[in-house]
Structure 1
Amino acid sequence: MAGLFSAQRTDHPVVMAEVAAEVTRLGGRVVESFVQRRGVSGGKKGKNTPGGAVTMSEPYSSRTLMSMGKVREIAEACHRANAGAVVFANELTGRQRAALATICGCPVFGHDDLVSPIRSAHDDSPP
């Protein structure tokens, strides 16, 4: 289980506990949890580059949501535990889900997927 949270968000332990409860309710088991906090450090790319509070609610990567270092940690834990899936506390785009699944070697879901399952592209039934 993993989550990216802004440093301004103080309820991240509650959110992670809710996601863990949902995983357990659905028959899963949380083996390990990872939290990445997006802090308020200044812009490091140059004087005119926004940083800190301006980018605090943005993902570290549009491709993987979290930093590559954190994603590698999650992938290593998946391999060690032979994990069946990774659940993020965050919403994920299809692109993020696919990239993370490739890196982690198992299916990846966002918390919203647990509440409203991903529909198949061939599913013609109403939502």
Structure 2
Amino acid sequence: MHQPRRRDRRTARRVPSEPAQRQAFRLTAAGADVVLVGYFSAKQKDFEVLMASAAAELGARGARVVVQIVQRRGVSDGGVQKMSLPYSSRTLLSYGKVREVAQACDQANADAVIFVATLTRRQQRTLTDMLGRPTASLTDILAAD
């Protein structure tokens, strides 16, 4: 005989308390001391030019770049196969590089961290929590002006 279907007692999926259409994180670059972080694959040979142009863009908006840090992917033999993937989907960077960025921020007394690569909202929240200061993408800064 067929038993009646029991009601699923698992809790419903949590609905995020924030609205789905959350307003983009905005950071005013004017007058801020920032740490500029670049994430590049080994295929990008002109990463130094990209970092210099990003620093110039921030400088034009009144920010002062106090430290520049670069994470390169695929430089070693083991990383070549995974070159298009981030080290971590949560932070984009490797754990050691995140610690290096946090240390540089503390030493330079930086106000914010700006990434040349585009960050997801989750990555922004995670990095902001880990680094203890606002984190944003360069595209967010340029779009804010």
TM-score by structure 2 length?
A: 0.71
- Provide the C-alpha distance between the structure 1 equivalents of 2:113 and 2:55, rounded to a whole number of angstroms: 11
The C-alpha deviation readout for 1:69-112, integer Å capped at 9, x for no partner, is 00100011111121111111100000101111111111111111
The C-alpha deviation readout for 1:12-48, integer Å capped at 9, x for no partner, is 0111011101111111111111001102523xxxxxx
Residue 16 (1) aligns with residue 51 (2)? yes
Consecutive unaligned residues of structure 2, counting only runs of 5 or more, are 1-35
Larger-Rg structure: 2
- Provide the C-alpha distance between the structure 2 equivalents of 1:14 and 1:57, rounded to a whole number of angstroms: 20
Cross-structure match for 2:120: 93
Cross-structure match for 2:109: 82
Residue 63 (1) aligns with residue 90 (2)? yes
TM-score by structure 1 length?
A: 0.80
Q: Which amino acid aligns with 1:104?
A: L
Aligned CA RMSD, in angstroms, stands at: 1.5
Q: State the aligned residue count.
A: 109
**Superposition misfits of 4+ residues, deviation over 3 angstroms:** none
- Provide the C-alpha distance between the structure 1 equivalents of 2:46 and 2:139, rounded to a whole number of angstroms: 18
Q: Is the 8 A contact 1:78 1:105 kept in 2?
A: no
Higher RCO, 1 vs 2 (CA within 8 Å, ≥6 residues apart): 2
Q: Which amino acid aligns with 2:140?
A: D
Cross-structure match for 1:36: 71
Q: Is the 8 A contact 1:89 1:110 kept in 2?
A: yes
